[in-house]
Amino acid sequence: MPIILDDADHRAFLIRDAHRALDFFDNSVAADGFRTLDHDGQPLPGTLQELHTTTRLVHSYALAQLAGRPDRAGVIDRGMEDLWRRHRDAHHGGYMWSITGEGPADATKLAYGHVFVLLAASSARMAGHPDADRLLDDIRDVLERHFWDEDAGRFRDELTRDWQPFSTYRGMNANMHGVEALLAAHEATGDPLFLSRAGRILDFFIGGQAAAHGWRIPEHYDQDWRPDPDYAGNPVFRPAGTTPGHSFEMARLLLHWWDLGGRQSDTAPQQARALVATALADGWDQARGGLVYTVRDGRVDRASRYWWPVTEAIGAVAALIKLDPRPADAEWYRRLWAFAERHLIDPRRGGWYPELDDAGQPSESQFAGKPEIYHALQADLLPLVPDLSHHGAALSRLQPLRQADAPSISGHP
């Protein structure tokens, strides 16, 4: 492992931050499901339990369990039960977007949520959960039957509860997380079809779209998969423009897929570097630090600074360091962690603040409380393993979170 990722003090810092976050998000479990937490770890009133929240908690705690940290709060059990008994639509099949203690709130069927079900089932299987195969078999069938477009080699986006299309929208975000889930499913099962489909998605968005658009990936498309630069939807999930944070994710996933497939070409590392370099150049806020949310034609469109692009940049740069370390990679890795520690990480209560105001202080203009552990936990865990792929197996082998008494160390290599 390159020395910057093998630094003992930095590794202790990552381990401690992961433990703090897991201790904080243990409070997510409630009698009737999961609750979104405020900055102090108290449940926010009136929040819905959304499919991506349930699945990301299962995935995150499965990774932590593989890494040696027991699931003391029963998050995985709670999440697997809720996915099967509450999110799953027993009448029409598939998984409903949001639920309350009383039942469905939004029964729409979205590819974005369904691919996270595949991710959760795959991670739970790697962690040995007894209900993982049941969930994995079901979600595989649902994705095959309703969302996968074999001719296009990508996932369709959105359907009604009874599987009627209600828009012609096609998007990169659901497919990006589809790649993430397909790679996890391949690692959990060994089925080569998952790996093949991930490659088809990556080829379209990176080898096709990013290469044709200055190594920026168009987010939104029409039903014929032509980019729609004027589309503007949900400001959290479907903002206009391109999103540097997604370029980091796609770069890391591309290297993950390439490594799983036996590193059969030399184009993937070059493409990953192009994506990361462009996203850093476009997205890094020279005046305030951090990464802006969206860009249009290389110019900042939405200057909001959220936590998750920083976590994804950390993951992507760490992957480049593992593959082919360069001085600029080490510089960016230090810079990203220094910014996160100074502005985003809550060292007293645990977890990361999701957004910052212009002065670099926590803000709640878009996100209430601390909405999730998923992005930050992966930023902590992925640099701890030497591999570009097989993260679950590597975490299980190394068990870094068994070091429960790691000291609180502020600092990076």
Q: Catalytic residue at 177?
A: no
Distance CA 73, CA 66 (A): 16
Helix (H) / strand (E) element for 159: namely: strand 158-159
What local confidence, expressed as pLDDT, does residue 412 receive? 60
Mean pLDDT lowest for which of 2-6, 7-11, 54-58, 159-163?
A: 2-6
Provide the pLDDT confidence category of residue 407 given band limits of 50, 70 and 90.
Answer: very low
What local confidence, expressed as pLDDT, does residue 236 receive? 80
| Residue pair 94/109 in contact by the 8 Å Cβ criterion | yes
User: Residue 375 above 60 pLDDT?
Assistant: yes
What local confidence, expressed as pLDDT, does residue 406 receive? 45
| Cα angle 160, 166, 168; round to 5 | 135
| Cα angle 172, 174, 180; round to 5 | 105
User: Residue 408 above 60 pLDDT?
Assistant: no
* Residue 203 per-residue DSSP state: I
What local confidence, expressed as pLDDT, does residue 234 receive? 85
Q: What average pLDDT is seen over the chain?
A: 95
Which of 87, 129, 186, 375 is catalytic? The answer is: 375
Alpha-helical runs (H) found in 44-143: 51-66, 75-82, 111-126, 132-142
What are the residues whose beta carbons fall under 8 Å from the beta carbon of 265, sequence distance 6 or more?
258
The predicted model gives 86-96 an average pLDDT of 98
What are the residues whose beta carbons fall under 8 Å from the beta carbon of 106, sequence distance 6 or more?
48, 96, 97, 98
Provide the pLDDT confidence category of residue 411 given band limits of 50, 70 and 90.
Answer: low
Provide the pLDDT confidence category of residue 237 given band limits of 50, 70 and 90.
Answer: confident
Q: If you search the block for the tokens 């992507």, which residue do you land on?
A: 316
User: Residue 146 above 60 pLDDT?
Assistant: yes
* Dihedral over alpha carbons 191, 192, 198, 200 (to 10 degrees): -150
Q: If you search the block for the tokens 């489909």, which residue do you land on?
A: 197
Distance CA 173, CA 217 (A): 10
The predicted model gives 251-276 an average pLDDT of 97
Provide the pLDDT confidence category of residue 154 given band limits of 50, 70 and 90.
Answer: very high
Provide the pLDDT confidence category of residue 101 given band limits of 50, 70 and 90.
Answer: confident
Backbone angles phi, psi at 95, to 5 degrees: -130, 130
Which of 146, 246, 256, 412 is catalytic? The answer is: 246
Provide the pLDDT confidence category of residue 231 given band limits of 50, 70 and 90.
Answer: very high
CATH of 3-400, one of 3.30.360.10, 2.60.120.10, 3.90.580.10, 1.50.10.10: 1.50.10.10
Q: Give the whole-number percent of the chain exceeding pLDDT 90.
A: 92
Q: Catalytic residue at 375?
A: yes
For residue 204, what are its two tokens?
A: 């379209």
The predicted model gives 316-344 an average pLDDT of 97
The predicted model gives 203-227 an average pLDDT of 97
The predicted model gives 369-397 an average pLDDT of 97
In 283-399, the DSSP E strands lie at 292-296, 299-306, 355-356
